[in-house]
């Protein structure tokens, strides 16, 4: 893994998509979208989003994670493989809406995942290999 790959991923995420793939203890996969990625150090990213409970539950029991930063217009991206080092709660929204009160919505929490990246792969829709960058 090269540190410059993380800065490329942050730049790609700003122009395109930032996908977060996790799996539970049994391996059931789950994919989420995120909006913000920030590089901290040579091998860590901070990913911030109002993640659904499934994503957080997964990373609490299975720290392994895959992150894709992809510019679909240019069809250029990176897949980052790593482990979640830390989960930090940033904000809490109680989900209150008078029209939805009867649904008893689950409170939403904005969280930041600190991820230690160990491998990077090229990601695109065009034919490619999954040889580490």
CATH code of the domain containing 15: 2.30.110.10
Range of the domain at 108: 3-123
The full DSSP string for 8-77 is HHHHHHHHSEEEEEEE-TT--EEEEE-SEEEEETTTEEEEEE---HHHHHHHHH--EEEEEEEETTTTEE
Cα 80 vs. chain centroid, distance in angstroms? 9
Q: What is the pLDDT of residue 9?
A: 92
Strands 108-123 and 29-33: unpaired
In a domain, 128, yes or no: no
**Residues sharing a CB contact under 8 Å with residue 127, sequence separation 6 or more, in sequence order:** none
Residue 38 lies in a domain: yes
- Residue 97: is its pLDDT beyond 80? no
Q: Which two tokens stand for residue 105?
A: 């919505």
State the average pLDDT over residues 36-56: 93
Torsion of CA 20, 11, 2, 79, to 10 degrees: 30
80's enclosing H/E stretch is strand 76-93
Residue 48 lies in a domain: yes
Question: Looking at the domain assignment, is residue 132 inside a domain?
Answer: no
131: in domain: no
How confident is residue 39, by pLDDT bands cut at 50, 70 and 90?
Answer: very high
pLDDT over threshold 80, residue 133: no
Say what the pLDDT of residue 102 is. 55
Model-level pTM? 0.86
Contacts of 104 (CB under 8 A, 6+ apart): none
Q: pLDDT digits over 49-86, tens only?
A: 989 889 999 999 999 999 999 999 999 999 999 999 99
**Mean pLDDT across the chain:** 88
**What is the count of structural domains for the chain?**
1
Report in angstroms the alpha-carbon separations of 82 from 45, 51, 64, 92, 117. Answer: 10, 18, 6, 26, 4
């Amino acid at each position: 893994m090269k540190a410059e790959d993380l800065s490329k991923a942050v730049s790609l995420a700003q122009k395109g998509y930032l996908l977060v793939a996790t799996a539970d203890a049994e391996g059931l996969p789950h994919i989420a979208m995120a909006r913000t990625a920030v590089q901290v150090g040579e091998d860590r990213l901070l990913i911030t989003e109002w993640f659904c409970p499934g994503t957080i539950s997964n990373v609490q029991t299975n720290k392994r994670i895959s992150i894709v930063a992809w510019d679909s217009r240019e069809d250029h991206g990176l897949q980052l493989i790593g482990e979640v080092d830390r989960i930090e709660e940033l904000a809490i929204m109680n989900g209150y809406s008078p029209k939805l009160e009867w649904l008893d919505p689950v409170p939403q929490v904005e969280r930041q995942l600190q991820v230690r990246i160990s491998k990077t792969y090229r990601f695109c829709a065009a034919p490619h290999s999954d040889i580490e960058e």
